[in-house]
Amino acid sequence: MIAKAALTLATAAALLLALPALAPVIAGGSWWGPSAVIVAVCALVGLGLRAARLTVVLIPLVQAVAALCVLTGAFVPYAAPLGFVPTPGALAELLAVFSEGRMQIGAETTPIPATPALALVIAAAMGLLAIVSDFLAVTARAAAMMALPLAGLLLVPLLVDDDGVSTFAFAAAAAGYVALLAVDGWARGSRQGITVRAAHDTAAPVLGGFQKLLTTAGVAAVAVTLALIVPLAVPGLSSSALYALADGSRLGGETITTTHPLVSLRRDLTSTSDRPVLNYRTDATDPGYLRMYSLDVFDGQNWTMSRLRADGDGDLGDETLPSPPGQSFIGSERTTTEVELADRFEADFLPMPYPPRRVSASGEWYADPETLMVFTTGAPARGTSYEVVSLPNRPDPDVLAADLEPSGDLDERYLEVPDSVGERTRELAERITAGDSTSYDRAVALQDWFAAGDRFTYDLSPPSIPAGEDPLNHFLFDSRVGYCEQFAGAMALLARQAGIPARVGIGYTSGTSAGDGVWEVSESDAHAWPELYFEGAGWLRFEPTPSSSSGGQGTATVPEYADGMPSAPQRGDAPGSQNSRENGGTEPSAAPDEPRVPTETPTSPDASEEADEGVFGGGPGDGGGPGWWWLALVPAALLLAALPALARTLVRRTRWVRAGSAAQRAHAAWRELRDDCRDLGVAWNAAESPRGTARRLAADHGLGDDAREALWRLAMAEESARYAPEVHQEGSPAVDSRLVRTALRRLRGRAAVLRALLLPGSLTAFPQPAPSRPAPRTGPAVS
């Protein structure tokens, strides 16, 4: 029982030590309390049920019921009898709040505000992990399997946050896991028999357990230190973001680790906070987009970046960047843009107008000569300023009309289409561009096709793709619902099918004018667009994504050189960032001869508004407040205070259960007397003989006749068990032990008894070496 109690507490401690890993992805601290309480409650329920010897099958079920009671009382007390009973009505309300929290996770960017709904999702997840972990480590005795739930917690920041897991969080989680393994090892060792030297006392195993714990702690400290230091010296391992390692681009012997551009795009567009990203001042009257990434590889489903090249020593200074690929004439006109990044925005690729000619930025920055992306291999920039001098991207109409063949310097990958795409898209591209003689005309035809009528619907929550269905075909031929990622990727693919080199640009639109040449860019201005190549003009952006304020991305604009397109909205009237989220629910209508699949746009309630309506506290209209959950701390604190008494009871019970022979019962009774004295603050001298101890206790504390006789019988039985060939024992050691304990408690007073219950000294007293049986004499004594 002692081993299982220790394992239960160590398992709960390991989970609680891993909890700080979630801190970087959640803003605020109100989520900590419910999560910690539910882990503690599951552990205490497990302790109590195992002490009551309840069948192990029922333990997870009872823990689940207790967790539901905590969640009900913490988040929907107004819907439950007594404020915590999980009735069907209360569970339905709890499920509604839980669903709101899941929607918030899907819509927000990190760090996610710690709303009550989000706190419920985290607490429920921690409750499930606590039950599973308790079963693995204590019931199944597979403590090493705890690595799975702990890894699940650590994966959350690794997958969704650029900073990944902090050093402190990793060290805490590792320490908790190693401590659990150490306790499990001690528990297993204690079941493999008792060493001969310590067979008559429990002190030696305790000392051995402490020694094992100290050894394990030393090994763990070295391992954790190496895990934190070695990555700093190994390129590619210093990044804490898992997707950064998966999506990193190689350059020479160094690795660029960055959030996948499409992941960043989705996160920005679906953010409800719409935080500012940057602001800039420009001398251009009509600034263009700010490009960060260029995706040139299409694998049949996704667009990604190919290998980058880094020239120079990382100091761009004021040097001129490579000439834009394919652009035959570079005039003298220049545009200057001064950019200031927001403090909360991190950039390892700098947003800037294309094509840049000079970049002045502090730190180590490289320019890829083929795509002119400017990036760093070090820490991302945050809250910094830089200046970009760029060329105006206004192509010569005569050059476009000439329809020159791409030179041999252009990489063929810009025309590659995987075999898995199939003939359907090629036929569609040919049908759209039929009758267009030049590449430029075909590009405009493709752009017109996406924007014509109500053929496509802009929506940030497109319908899910059926299992086994190709995402591109589903967008082009079935749903026709999506946002800039789908529009840009589809047009770039169709352009390649039509013989035009194409890639996808990722960055931000020009944003909203703040007057006096200053423009503001926020998360909702994140955008993707196709870039098509024309010999002599270079790479030009096109805009297939709807740009109207009533059903598209409000700040998107159509380039002037894209003839035949509807006029773009006036920038002064461009809606704010929210309209790109709010205007995606228009029901699409079928284009002639082209079947459409009706879709529904889910609407999500405002988490902040419902948080004020009684969630995480009283009923609607009570003003919110901290809620009921903190009341669970009272019984949790009481249970924690009772743990020493429970541990002392388990020690006593285990001691008597293991005492099978007369000698073992005599030793158990004497050790119980020793521990009772230590608990009550009575002096105990291990150097005294048993009969000497009995005389002293009887004389010092004025024991009654019955207690004196019981004490004497215990002493004689202990001496007989130590030295006599056969144990001579009178009476019952267990009965005599209870009799002496009761007498000592009555004589010591209530204060000593209360202290013995709450803080039993026998659990922490340093064990004394036990007297050993003297060796038989083989010869005369030598004086």
Does the pLDDT at position 613 exceed 90? no
Tell me the C-alpha distance between 500 and 534, whole Å: 8
pLDDT of amino acid 157:
72
- The average pLDDT across 392-421 equals 88
Please, are residues 152 and 129 in contact by the beta-carbon 8 Å criterion?
yes
pLDDT of amino acid 633:
54
Tell me the C-alpha distance between 79 and 224, whole Å: 46
**Neighbour tally for 776: CB within 10 Å:** 5
Query: Measuring CA to CA, which residue among 658, 366, 407, 382 is closest to residue 534?
Result: 407
The sign of the dihedral angle between the CA atoms of 336, 341, 342, 347 is positive
The model's confidence at residue 583, banded by pLDDT at 50, 70 and 90, is very low
pLDDT of amino acid 203:
45
The model's confidence at residue 263, banded by pLDDT at 50, 70 and 90, is confident
**Neighbour tally for 210: CB within 10 Å:** 13
- The average pLDDT across 662-672 equals 90
- The average pLDDT across 117-125 equals 88
DSSP 309: -
Cis peptide leading into 380, omega within 30 of 0? no
Using the structure block, give the residue that is written with the tokens 């329809």: 403
Using the structure block, give the residue that is written with the tokens 């805009």: 543
Strands (E), 415-495: 457-458, 481-482
Structure tokens at 620: 């609607």
pLDDT of amino acid 310:
66
Structure tokens at 50: 């195992």
pLDDT of amino acid 602:
38
pLDDT of amino acid 488:
94
Does the pLDDT at position 489 exceed 70? yes
Question: Which residue has better confidence, 349 or 56?
Answer: 349
Mean pLDDT of the chain: 77
pLDDT of amino acid 765:
57
pLDDT of amino acid 677:
92
Return the CATH fold of 397-607: C8orf32 fold (3.10.620)
Please, are residues 103 and 85 in contact by the beta-carbon 8 Å criterion?
no
Does the pLDDT at position 240 exceed 70? no
pLDDT of amino acid 353:
95
Say which range, 56-70, 198-212, 216-230, has the weakest mean pLDDT: 198-212
Does the pLDDT at position 512 exceed 50? yes
pLDDT of amino acid 3:
76
DSSP 137: I
Tell me the C-alpha distance between 438 and 239, whole Å: 47
Tell me the C-alpha distance between 17 and 21, whole Å: 9
Say which range, 200-209, 377-386, 480-489, has the weakest mean pLDDT: 200-209
Say which range, 353-367, 444-458, 752-766, has the weakest mean pLDDT: 752-766
Question: Which residue has better confidence, 411 or 115?
Answer: 411
Please, are residues 526 and 278 in contact by the beta-carbon 8 Å criterion?
no
Structure tokens at 1: 């029982």
- The average pLDDT across 293-299 equals 92
Structure tokens at 162: 């650029």
CA 622 from chain center: how many Å?
A: 33
The model's confidence at residue 552, banded by pLDDT at 50, 70 and 90, is confident
Question: Which residue has better confidence, 82 or 231?
Answer: 82
As a three-state string, the secondary structure of 270-298 is: CCCCCCEEEEEEECCCCCCCEEEEEECEE
Tell me the C-alpha distance between 313 and 290, whole Å: 25
pLDDT tens across 309-362, in order?
666 677 887 678 888 998 888 878 899 999 999 988 888 899 999 999 999 998
Question: Which residue has better confidence, 747 or 783?
Answer: 747
pLDDT of amino acid 80:
86
State residue 527 phi and psi, 5-degree precision.
Answer: -155, 155
The model's confidence at residue 764, banded by pLDDT at 50, 70 and 90, is low
The model's confidence at residue 460, banded by pLDDT at 50, 70 and 90, is confident
CA-based end-to-end distance of the chain: 50
pLDDT of amino acid 153:
77
Question: Which residue has better confidence, 94 or 634?
Answer: 94
Sorted by where each begins, the domain ranges of the chain are 2-233, 276-390, 397-607, 659-763
Name the residue type at position 57.
Answer: V
Question: Which residue has better confidence, 24 or 519?
Answer: 519
pLDDT of amino acid 647:
78
pLDDT of amino acid 155:
74
pLDDT tens across 718-757, in order?
988 888 888 877 888 889 999 999 999 888 888 888 888 8
